[in-house]
Structure 1
Amino acid sequence: MKGVNSLVLTFFLLALASTLASDPSSLQDFCVALNGTKHSVFVNGKFCKDPKLVTADDFFFSGLNKAGNTSNAVGSKVTPVNVDQIPGLNTLGISLVRIDYAPYGGLNPPHTHPRATEVLVVTKGKLYVGFVTSNPDNRLFTKVLKKGDVFVFPVGLIHFQFNVGETAAVAFAGLSSQNPGVITIANAVFGSNSPINPDVLAKAFKLDKKVVDYLQTQF
């Protein structure tokens, strides 16, 4: 009996530890974000608009029917719908993006979302997509997606999408954070502010220092 009690206690402590390690459940229906503290109340660790002043517009965004301008160096445009566009997303843990890709070659370059898993659905065109697992394996998982296909990019992993069709492509993605963040790998490495010492990058990427110098000028 003593062994059984010890086992029950162990499971209880593990469950308690798991509960304490996770985000707390929301304690209100919503918490519409405010930039300032005027007309706000402090609820569940956030400044929120007074619920009596909340309107339907706090949960609304219009414009995802409009194609993004892909006339840029990578040939893609991401239109985000996160807490900055919809204040009512605050504390709800979700957001959305539309991604437009130029005809063959439009690229959403390798990047990560430090705070979110992404699930992507193609609504037009054909995309070559993939992600790379963490060290030490760095396994590459790829797929060619067509209209109606869905692919998942796990939180924090480097991933990309590349238009392999002859026409423009469109995809929509849901993310498991109100503000998932994005780190575009090439921009962060070669375009950091201030620049990373070229000797560091030359050794890390096994490149001639002149190549690193050139790449840094491109960002």
Structure 2
Amino acid sequence: MRLAIGHTSIGKNRRGQSMIEVIIAIGTSVRAGRVAADRLTAVGLAREGIEIARNTRDSNWLTLSQWDAGLKGPNNWPIAFPRIDVSSNATSMSFYFPNAAADWNYSNIICGGVACSNVYLSSSQYLQGGSFGGGDTQFSRLMYVNVICQNAGGAEKIAGNSEQAACGQVGSTVAAYPAKVGARVISEVRWPNSSATAHKVILEERLYDWRWF
């Protein structure tokens, strides 16, 4: 009798344990699916930033304009964010000047009273660079455009993300590299997770002045 009772008790415990395991597995699967969907969106946003920069370079080349027009900020400010004109669907990049070290933080770069990095969703289109009629998403995006410089021997050097420097500029890391031959574009997207840290997707592409070669 004791053995039978003990066997029944173990069976119930196993059934209960199996149910808990199923619930945990479902919760884990749902959470993993959500993380994967968020990452897919973030990768798309990061790629869009790179494509806007590339399109800017290509358009300049086709119109015989200066190849890096729109790919550099005043005084070589490296922080940028992409803009999409809703009415014309034209793309461009806006550059931001950091007034202090803290301004390099995502939340401190302000456009129209909101963080420039905030990404909004309006009519199934992601927008950035101000407050829009659509809903605020969990995603933030910024870009860094750094000069690629070359010396007489053909060696290249890239200015740092926190450096406002022109090729050959005295006192900069690219002082010995006087010729600007390209731009390194970094597109970074962040979004929160359940902990205090943030997820990140970072894509990089190097765009060159085709006419240089």
The two structures have a TM-score, normalised by structure 1, of 0.21
TM-score, normalised to structure 2's length?
A: 0.21
Richer in helix (by share): 2
Say which one has the larger Rg: 2
